[in-house]
Structure 1
Amino acid sequence: MKAMIAHPQHTLHLARETMDIEAAALLGLKERLDERFVNAVDHMLAVQGRVVVMGMGKSGHIGRKIAATLASTGTPAMFVHPGEASHGDLGMIKAVDVVLAISNSGESVELLAILPVLKRQGVPLIALTGGLDSTLARHAHVVLDCSVEKEACPLNLAPTASTTAQLAMGDALAVALLDARGFKPEDFARSHPGGALGRKLLTHLSDVMRQGKDVPQVGPDAEFTVLMREMSNKGLGATAVTDAQGLVLGVFTDGDLRRLIEKGGDLRALKARDVMHPHPRTIRQDALAVEAAQIMELHRITSILVVDASGVLCGALNTNDLMRAKVI
């Protein structure tokens, strides 16, 4: 075909019209939601196995996304291609599963071919379709109406508004299910350990804190020059003051140093016990790194000491450590 140059105004008109048509399709979908949607959610909540999502063509692409969304929000799910199901993959589906079949027409040959087997196994079938009088709808236990008035395609042929409606219905199911299951951010993080939320909610202090010789600490009788050397060498911006058993007595920070300098006097004559801030904020070593970030933000401090169950110093960290770990 000969290359064409798009007319700017016409192109923008088509884009806006596409969005108007698809937005209208979603609003229509919203108005038609009824007890059948609740029934579908109940079937998926009660399933002992998995939600098996199936669909051909563009509906199949939507089905893969719906299966992925369900799986990541607490509902065990997988996608099975209907064409492959007739050639062996049907063995993946068990009587304890529920099938979510997606077809705009409800007459996809590959889906219809496996309906007798599903019925023989007693597998509940939820149809997500625009063909309410279709073969798929007649055999389904629950029918979710995803019909649209027209496609956004100017030819009214390419699946556009219909696939948008399917995707929105899948998202609505996933959201209703995660709420019913009491799904929490921590649960989401466990299935997304490589994402930002996973790092925030699954990273423990032990993963990011400084330990052993990297933790700045001095005794209460340490001279001021020793205290300053420890702070400089360890680069935390603070040092802990501990007793002989390692119990935290206090902390001395860069901010404390600035305030001392402003007051004047001979700093060399001072001991750690004279300049430390007693009873500093600490955090238990079994806490999450995000908890340390919250404490530091709340109290406007840039570092925090980590202690064990007995209050013995076992680590330390500052905002730079949290930033390197991408917790903040």
Structure 2
Amino acid sequence: MSDDTLTHARPQALDLARQVLTIEAQAVSALAERLDERFLAAVELVLNCRGRVVVSGMGKSGHIARKIASTLASTGTPAFFVHPAEASHGDLGMITREDVVIALSNSGESPELLTIVPLIKRTGAKLISMTGRPQSTLAREADVHLDASVAREACPLGLAPTASTTAALALGDALAVALLDARGFGAEDFARSHPGGALGRRLLVRVSDVMRKDEALPRVRPEASLRDALLEMTKKGMGMTAVVDADDRVVGIYTDGDLRRSLDRGCDIHATRIAQVMTPSPRTIAPERLAAEAVERMQNHNIYSLLVVDGAGRLIGALSMHDLMRAGVV
């Protein structure tokens, strides 16, 4: 391809891309205006479902169906995808009378879906259809039909599913979010179904899961020398040491920053007691608090470590920003 051809194609490609986005945005906006009691009926059908939601579709509608099933499952509505062609060869046994089936087909005439519709209804399962043709066979056979029709496809040939698949996906998202809200599904519920993600770590990991404890925990008594405190800091490698009384209650902390200030004042590391140079009443956190809260406290107070104490103020752990980073909370 010549440079002249490329130069000519670039503005045309941008114009076409903008047209595609405009058409698809208009298709989704039109859906919002069409939502009515049928959408509410679909929500009620799923809320009253004692089994699972089974989502199915062929071709591009099948790809959208898989995404809708995944979104439903991750937002509190147990769901899975069944391929309609495979359903005719045994997978129909996955569907029970307690289930709700959501069938996607832009034409509403996909033969693979229409083949299994009578069998689905014979089991007693409820059927929600999502089509682009309200008068189609699939729409008529459904207990509830959701109209996902579009004025036109974004493909200039009018052939490739573009606006229609976007509309179906958006309608599926709308259903999932409406169900999420109706179930009172919250951020912690979401995190439990996404334990490997960043949100899961932020909402599930507790301070007790991350903190250093027992022999890994740096601590000295107030009467310890500055030299002893430095040895403890070096041995435990946290850049600080807690200062505790005879009952292990926290009375102070001594950090690398305190060390620099001590050296600036010319403190004798052998003669100086740690109680003379420590920071009293340090920031602390309880072990049952979220690790994300520990991050917030460190950032708000511009500190790099936190002491973990029990209800009586006794030292039971410590954590640094590096610990939180290793745990994936930051």
Q: What TM-score range do you get, normalising by the shorter chain?
A: over 0.9
Number of the residue aligned with 2:200: 198
Query: Aligned equivalents of 1:279 and 1:26: distance in 2?
Result: 57
Question: How far did residue 291 of structure 1 move?
Answer: 2.1
Structure 1 range deviating more: 273-282 or 255-264: 255-264
Which one of 9, 12, 17 corresponds to residue 11 of structure 2?
A: 9
Query: Aligned equivalents of 1:104 and 1:160: distance in 2?
Result: 11
Number of the residue aligned with 2:276: 274
Number of the residue aligned with 1:42: 44
Gaps of 5+ in 2: none
Number of the residue aligned with 2:233: 231
Q: What secondary structure sits across from 1:252 in the alignment? A: strand
Query: Aligned equivalents of 1:33 and 1:261: distance in 2?
Result: 71
Residue pairs, 1:230-249, within 5 angstroms: 230-249=232-251
Q: What secondary structure sits across from 2:179 in the alignment? A: helix
Q: What secondary structure sits across from 2:168 in the alignment? A: helix
Query: Aligned equivalents of 2:267 and 2:83: distance in 1?
Result: 79
Number of the residue aligned with 1:257: 259
The CA RMSD measured in Å over matched residues stands at 1.8
Number of the residue aligned with 1:155: 157
Q: Deviations over 1:158-187 (max 9, x none)?
A: 111100100110111111111222222221
Residue pairs, 1:81-92, within 5 angstroms: 81-92=83-94
Q: What secondary structure sits across from 2:14 in the alignment? A: helix
Query: Aligned equivalents of 2:297 and 2:245: distance in 1?
Result: 25
In structure 1, give the amino acid aligned to 2:184.
G
Question: How far did residue 86 of structure 1 move?
Answer: 1.3
Residue pairs, 1:91-102, within 5 angstroms: 91-102=93-104
Query: Aligned equivalents of 1:259 and 1:48: distance in 2?
Result: 66
Which one of 17, 20, 23 corresponds to residue 18 of structure 1?
A: 20
Q: What secondary structure sits across from 2:55 in the alignment? A: strand
In structure 1, give the amino acid aligned to 2:123.
Q
Which one of 42, 52, 55 corresponds to residue 54 of structure 2?
A: 52
In structure 1, give the amino acid aligned to 2:171.
M
Query: Aligned equivalents of 1:28 and 1:63: distance in 2?
Result: 21
Query: Aligned equivalents of 2:15 and 2:284: distance in 1?
Result: 60
In structure 2, give the amino acid aligned to 1:319.
M
Number of the residue aligned with 2:319: 317
Q: What secondary structure sits across from 2:189 in the alignment? A: helix
Which one of 124, 127, 133 corresponds to residue 126 of structure 2?
A: 124
Question: How far did residue 265 of structure 1 move?
Answer: 5.4
Q: Does 1:165 align with 2:167?
A: yes
Q: What secondary structure sits across from 2:157 in the alignment? A: coil
Query: Aligned equivalents of 2:216 and 2:160: distance in 1?
Result: 63
Number of the residue aligned with 2:221: 219
Question: How far did residue 148 of structure 1 move?
Answer: 0.7
Structure 1 range deviating more: 68-77 or 276-285: 276-285
Query: Aligned equivalents of 1:272 and 1:263: distance in 2?
Result: 14
Q: Does 1:28 align with 2:30?
A: yes
Question: How far did residue 214 of structure 1 move?
Answer: 2.0
Query: Aligned equivalents of 1:255 and 1:173: distance in 2?
Result: 54
Q: Does 1:108 align with 2:149?
A: no
Query: Aligned equivalents of 2:235 and 2:282: distance in 1?
Result: 21
Query: Aligned equivalents of 1:160 and 1:52: distance in 2?
Result: 24
Query: Aligned equivalents of 1:262 and 1:202: distance in 2?
Result: 43
Query: Aligned equivalents of 1:134 and 1:61: distance in 2?
Result: 21
Q: What secondary structure sits across from 1:44 in the alignment? A: helix
Contact 2:96–2:124 at 8 Å: present in 1 too? no
Q: Deviations over 1:51-87 (max 9, x none)?
A: 1101111100100011001111111000011111111
Gaps of 5+ in 1: none
Question: How far did residue 267 of structure 1 move?
Answer: 5.6
Q: Deviations over 1:241-266 (max 9, x none)?
A: 11233222221223333444455555
Query: Aligned equivalents of 1:92 and 1:310: distance in 2?
Result: 55
Query: Aligned equivalents of 2:198 and 2:252: distance in 1?
Result: 34
Structure 1 range deviating more: 210-219 or 269-278: 269-278
Query: Aligned equivalents of 1:12 and 1:281: distance in 2?
Result: 55
Q: What secondary structure sits across from 1:269 in the alignment? A: coil
In structure 1, give the amino acid aligned to 2:186.
K
